Chain A
Amino acid sequence: MTDRAVSQHDAPAEETVEFTLDGRPASARPGELLIAAAERAGVYIPRFCYHPRMEPVGMCRMCLVEVSGPRGATLQPACFIPVEAGSEVVTNSDKVKKAQDGVLEFLLVNHPLDCPVCDKGGECPLQDQTLAYGPGESRFVEEKRHFEKPIALSDLVLLDRERCIQCARCTRFQDEIAGEAQIDFASRGERVEVASFPTQPFSSYFSGNTVQICPVGALTATPYRFTARPWDLDQVESTCTTCAFGCRAAVQSSANRLTRLLGIDSEPVNHGWLCDKGRYAFEAVNGDEVAAGPAEDDAQPVTLGSGRRRGQFAGEVAETASQVGRVTDPMLRDGDRHRRVGWTEALSEAAARLAAVREAHGPEAIAFIGGGRLTNEGAYAWTKLAKGVLGTDSVDAQIGDGLPAELVLSLPRATIDEACSARLVVLLSADVREELPVLFLRLRRSILDKRTTLLELTPRSTSLTPYAKVSLTVRPGDAPLVARAIAGEHAALPAHPMGPSFAPERLEGARNLAADVGDGAGVVVLYSRPSMAEHASVPAAAVAALGAAWPEARFLPLVRRGNVHGALDMGMAPGILPGRTSLEQGQRWFTEHWGSVPSRRGRDATEVFRSLTEREDDATRAVVLLGCDPLEDFPDRTLAKRALEAAEVVISVAGHPGPSLDLADVVLPVAVAHERPGTTTNIEGRVTRLGQKLAPPGLAWPDWSIASALSDELGYDLALGTPSEIAEEIERVAPAYRGFAPGFLDQVSGHDGIVVPLGAAHAPAVRPIDPMATPGVESVERQGAPPRVGLTDAVSRELLATLHPEEGVEGTPARLRRVGPSPVSTPQPDHYSLRLVATRRLYDRGASMEASPSLARLVGPAVALANPSDLARLGIGPGEPVRISSPRGQVTLAAEGDPGVPKGVLVIDFNLSEPDGATNAAAMLIDASAVVNDVRLETL
């Protein structure tokens, strides 16, 4: 109800319901809840259970107000009843005050009042509202209800039942928003308690939200517990870049250590929610004891001789890589050890090596891989250095795990809101919940609220499958044909010895949905790289086919890594220049601004690695790793390893240690998320602010300064001093960012950011938000504790006016031309193999998980999933270990049957390890150049 009510707010509200509020005339939107209407009119009604993003339950009774009705004025819950035309509402009568006072006294009857030892003390809505509306002292002299003090609902969430006020916010969140009611009320009356099922922990990816919205200290998060008191906290508003969805967050710290992230309610993006990975990955920034992962099997552990924990003095240096939380000092390789050096020495060494390679082999011998963890400003600076100064176009922010940049940047982009209200959403992706978790929350709610309809083409059934109108499981290589079949071409579907991967009626259903959409107006296609074991050209062809069939459709790329969209927008892909233009189209313009641009198209990550191993004449010889670790992230580990070993020069700009770092000749320590200001761009092209909360550890520098200093060392002044200078240059030279005044984001009402390229930016309506969700600290400007009214701030018209793109600046390059469909040919499957699918898991062995102790322990081992009939056919029992081999390599994993996996397919989640190894099991099997990868299974 609330969500729907909210969506109506977007439309210009012509209709209003007039009523009287405390004797003054007021107006509400049709169907609007009294509590919300009052709030917009400036009257804050106290509450506990009400949350504007969830169905009201009217349970706590804190919001009782007097409402006139047929039987005179009665006390009614303002959170539950819609405003009736002509009704008279009184929120401040003696009767109302007595009721509020009474409810608070009742709430405290069984409350332990252990505020001094409670995490919530100092930022507690129960404390605050008791002060504002409650009784002076309790008249309760009886024995209170007792429960065992906190019980662990999961590794991350503790529950103190004595403090619980039974508001059902947590249980409703899990049921309504997350869609997995792993906690529920148990028992009755005074004994009502929140409980998980004894044999099933509360393992939701979204559990942290329940802690955030709990209005008391009943739910606490183990990573934050007892780390700080609210009054010691300091915070900035920022954007989570754990994935590319762009959730807005308040980042809090105490004593130069991050302590907590809280979701901020951003109407266009995250609605206040965060996933647990985003919420707790800050631990990696602090760089405390890293969960010691199993040692690399084939690489000698290299003694880095560097690295300190945050707050550690230079003297107390950790000894080995596995103990090091963060890369804190520049280092040079010295035999098979690294030696700490100063920046001067490191930079001059790096510059000398790059210059030498360029001298000997030309600029194209240098490649830059990675960039998804940079700020937009950093990405721009590095692109300018690579493409403008060094002259190489071999720059790739994607590490072979994404999609062709031309496709992503050229398709007409949909916003997240458009996707969530599209007449039809077509999803060509793996499981959204595993990749962009909060997008899953948004889509699920939209489907349930009947605001959109989902057609899904996925390699296996997903978390959204139960909500999809039609769901098709598509085998690797088949997506283009299936897409064309849906769009109306009566092309034959690929034959497969195991039969079709979905029931024929489903295709019929999909076709019927497609038949209704005509030219695709109102359709949004969400697409990503569904499997690392399938070449990017396959999904690209499928997307292009839908684009050709539906010229009016819009597209939302679900490429997920951190700020990869910002990096692509800044030109970090071969053939691309900043602002979504091509090398060709932007040549004149950028030559003018930068002095020069590469003369020819460079290599992408896969081509770079192949080139490094093949050592042709014009091969790549030097590689700069920009905050990435190909040995972990690249789909084809064999290739990545050979390539890095073969490289003449490896320079690593790194915040965290990892296997690739050991192979680096020069290590340059970089500031990571929350340690530098800047901006980021999410999947829809929304640019938002990144707040700096901490000073980087040790000698680490922000990403753009390293590019700048390295450029200086190479004898060229990038002229990019501060982030705001860079932002100004981006605005000036990057076509898609034209007109985007960086100061916009610093305004309170600019915190939701703005989608580039600037179009008809509309001001979202003011809506009530949950004032209890970002408790305590006043400095998150837009949200505060009661009695402050919890309203979102609308982007003011004046502010929007500052954004109007100055059209037609002479010589501005055109944006990328739309990519058409290109054929891919998939080899025939054979009877004895299974086609490999490597999908992403939210909890994988990526750097942010591994370096966050609270999260690292949640990562499970890789499992091989196949359709039960395939396992039966191959004589493999459930749970039995199997040897899986491909031409690339082999791994041993437990096999499990899963009816959601189509026949003829084997699913191994990407970046999970063999039970007894540290390797990314799937990456051991994948040949990155192959269209599809087939594997064989044998029992041991």
Chain B
Amino acid sequence: MAVSMPTKIVTARLEHADSHTLERYLATGGYDGLRKALGMTPAEVAAEVDAASLLGRGGAGFPAGRKWSMLKKDPLTYLVVNGDESEPATFKDHLLIERDPHQILEGVIISAYALQVTQAFVYIRGEFALGLERMEEAVNDAYRQHALGSDIFGSGFSLDVVVHPGAGAYICGEETALLESLEGKRGFPRIKPPYFPAVIGLYGQPTVVNNVETMANIPWIVLHGGAAFAAMGEGRSTGTRLFALSGHVNRPGPYEVQMVKTTFRDLIYAPELGGGVREGRDLKAFIPGGVSSPWFGPGQVDLPLGQDEVAQEGSMLGSGSVVVMDSSTCVVRAAWRITKFFFRESCGQCTPCREGSGWLERILYRIEHGGGREQDLDLLMDVCDNISPGVHWPPQQTTICVLGPSIPPSIAAGLKMFRDEFLVHIKDGGCPFD
């Protein structure tokens, strides 16, 4: 298997144990991007990002340049960085925050300059205690060396950045819930329309929300140019991307690879990447982009890691987390556990998600533990249908945010790919894998 190991962009520095320190950061070209950016006009910086075709790394994959251009003109605008990473099996932001906080921060400052925002906030998942400490340290360092504060590097541009700790709620990764949370409220997502952050965001002001990894790419793009970034990958999916690989593989971990040029097979089987399915078992199924995405089977393993390529096959790259399930996996149990996650994390606003997630979880638990009835399978699908009409991809929804329609994919995929396994559970009155 020939994997072209790409230029490392966001993980280049991580070979050093002290990659999180200012010293190492400066020694490895740190803040050069910012210096360069400050010599350009904000519009020129934005143009480079646009040219890079940098797709947002938070899950929705919206091009960062486009998003920036949609920011409504206003004397008061904000940049909010989403470091809430809670999508199950996603652990790439965790790595970047803990191991290279300055890179994110530099990206934030450059972006703030390009957007001319008045203040930036970095919202970090509360459970990342070490990451929070490192980011706070990086911010202190940045102020100390005039990369933050008044008149940054003598450019006349000023900025304050505040690191904001979350407190344990998955939904706060959803950008409007994150803004609510940042405003000191419970993380209830806002309704779009009209609450598109670029128009009505933090404190009702236009706001750009970008993912941590998206930000981490910015210094490189400014230093090397958008074209250099776009030269990697293919089509709309440019550059590299940091994939979090987990589950039944020999070498679980975060891997930065070129988009499209790399396939799921490379990621799972290449010796320098996943190193193959554990204990030489067969691949049963894999989740291509976080637990909100419909599953793939062995037949789709040669798909390239590209946004549109995966979408065409009826799923998504989402948050960049790939979970491998081998032949020993109980599909009912996997679907139940994922559903339980959504049940526990539903914010509670919308009736279908609040009540539906719990109902589905209880049915799946019952099937897994021997109380299943044949009619449960249709019931599961119909309850899913009432949350996400049609249960297809891309989904429709009866809910405010897409947490609701994120619930059905695992159940629908499980039922579609492994209906027999559900039936065995029902007939045997329990789990055949136990």
Q: Do chains A and B touch in the complex (CB under 8 A)?
A: yes
Residues of A within 8 A of B (CB): 57-62, 64, 74-75, 77, 80-81, 95, 98-99, 101-103, 105-107, 109-110, 139-140, 142-143, 145, 165-166, 185, 187-192
With CB as the reference atom, state the residue of chain A lying closest to B349: A59
**Does B270 sit within 8 A of A, measured CB to CB?**
no
Residues of A within 8 A of B363 (CB): 142
**Does B417 sit within 8 A of A, measured CB to CB?**
no
Residue-wise, chain B 344-355 has the 8 Å CB interface mask toward A (1 for contact) of 111111111011
Residues of B within 8 A of A (CB): 169, 186, 191, 193, 343-352, 354-359, 362-363, 366, 379, 385-387, 389, 396-400
Also in contact, A102 and B352, with CB within 8 A (given A81-B193, A109-B359): yes
Task: Enumerate 9 A-B pairs (CB-CB under 8 Å) in ascending A order.
Answer: A59-B349, A61-B352, A61-B399, A62-B351, A80-B191, A142-B359, A142-B363, A166-B348, A190-B348
With CB as the reference atom, state the residue of chain B lying closest to A107: B351
Residues of A within 8 A of B389 (CB): 75, 95, 98-99
With CB as the reference atom, state the residue of chain B lying closest to A192: B348
Instruction: Quote the shortest CB–CB distance from B365 to chain A (angstroms).
Output: 9
Residues of A within 8 A of B344 (CB): 189
Residue of B169, B345, B354, B359 with most chain A CB atoms under a 10 A cut-off: B354
Q: How far is the CA of A462 from the CA of B245 in the complex (A)?
A: 61
With CB as the reference atom, state the residue of chain B lying closest to A185: B186
Instruction: Quote the shortest CB–CB distance from B336 to chain A (angstroms).
Output: 13
Q: How far is the CA of A140 from the CA of B357 in the complex (A)?
A: 13
Also in contact, A189 and B347, with CB within 8 A (given A99-B386, A106-B359): yes
Q: How far is the CA of A330 from the CA of B265 in the complex (A)?
A: 99
Instruction: Quote the shortest CB–CB distance from A916 to chain B (angstroms).
Output: 45
Residues of B within 8 A of A103 (CB): 351-352, 386, 398
Among all A-B residue pairs, the 6 with the closest Cβ atoms: A102-B386, A192-B348, A106-B355, A142-B362, A189-B346, A189-B348
Q: How far is the CA of A80 from the CA of B192 in the complex (A)?
A: 10
Q: How far is the CA of A143 from the CA of B396 in the complex (A)?
A: 29
Are the CB atoms of A140 and B169 closer together than 8 Å? no
Residues of B within 8 A of A61 (CB): 350-352, 398-399
Are the CB atoms of A166 and B354 closer together than 8 Å? yes
Q: How far is the CA of A862 from the CA of B349 in the complex (A)?
A: 43
Residues of A within 8 A of B387 (CB): 102
Residues of A within 8 A of B346 (CB): 188-190
With CB as the reference atom, state the residue of chain B lying closest to A75: B398
Residues of A within 8 A of B343 (CB): 189-190
Residues of B within 8 A of A64 (CB): 398
Instruction: Quote the shortest CB–CB distance from B367 to chain A (angstroms).
Output: 12
Besides A109-B358, A110-B358, 16 new A-B residue pairs in contact (Cβ under 8 A), listed by A number: A57-B349, A60-B350, A61-B351, A75-B396, A77-B191, A99-B398, A102-B387, A106-B386, A142-B366, A165-B351, A166-B351, A166-B354, A188-B169, A188-B347, A190-B343, A191-B348
Residues of B within 8 A of A58 (CB): 191, 400
Residues of A within 8 A of B169 (CB): 188
Also in contact, A189 and B386, with CB within 8 A (given A80-B191, A142-B362): no
Residues of A within 8 A of B358 (CB): 109-110, 145, 189-190
Also in contact, A75 and B397, with CB within 8 A (given A61-B351, A142-B363): yes
Residues of B within 8 A of A191 (CB): 348
Residues of B within 8 A of A102 (CB): 352, 385-387, 398
Residue of B352, B357, B362, B363 with most chain A CB atoms under a 10 A cut-off: B352
Q: How far is the CA of A165 from the CA of B193 in the complex (A)?
A: 24
Instruction: Quote the shortest CB–CB distance from A22 to chain B (angstroms).
Output: 19
With CB as the reference atom, state the residue of chain B lying closest to A74: B396
Instruction: Quote the shortest CB–CB distance from A445 to chain B (angstroms).
Output: 19
Instruction: Quote the shortest CB–CB distance from B62 to chain A (angstroms).
Output: 15
Residues of B within 8 A of A190 (CB): 343, 346, 348, 354-355, 357-358
Q: How far is the CA of A103 from the CA of B397 in the complex (A)?
A: 12
With CB as the reference atom, state the residue of chain B lying closest to A190: B358
Instruction: Quote the shortest CB–CB distance from A885 to chain B (angstroms).
Output: 49
Instruction: Quote the shortest CB–CB distance from B134 to chain A (angstroms).
Output: 28
Q: How far is the CA of A188 from the CA of B354 in the complex (A)?
A: 9
Q: How far is the CA of A74 from the CA of B347 in the complex (A)?
A: 22
Residues of A within 8 A of B351 (CB): 59-62, 103, 106-107, 165-166
With CB as the reference atom, state the residue of chain B lying closest to A186: B186
Q: Which of B354, B362, B398 contacts A143 (CB 8 A)?
A: B362
Are the CB atoms of B348 and A110 closer together than 8 Å? no
Also in contact, A189 and B396, with CB within 8 A (given A99-B389, A166-B348): no
Are the CB atoms of A139 and B379 closer together than 8 Å? yes
Residue of A61, A110, A191 with most chain B CB atoms under a 10 A cut-off: A61
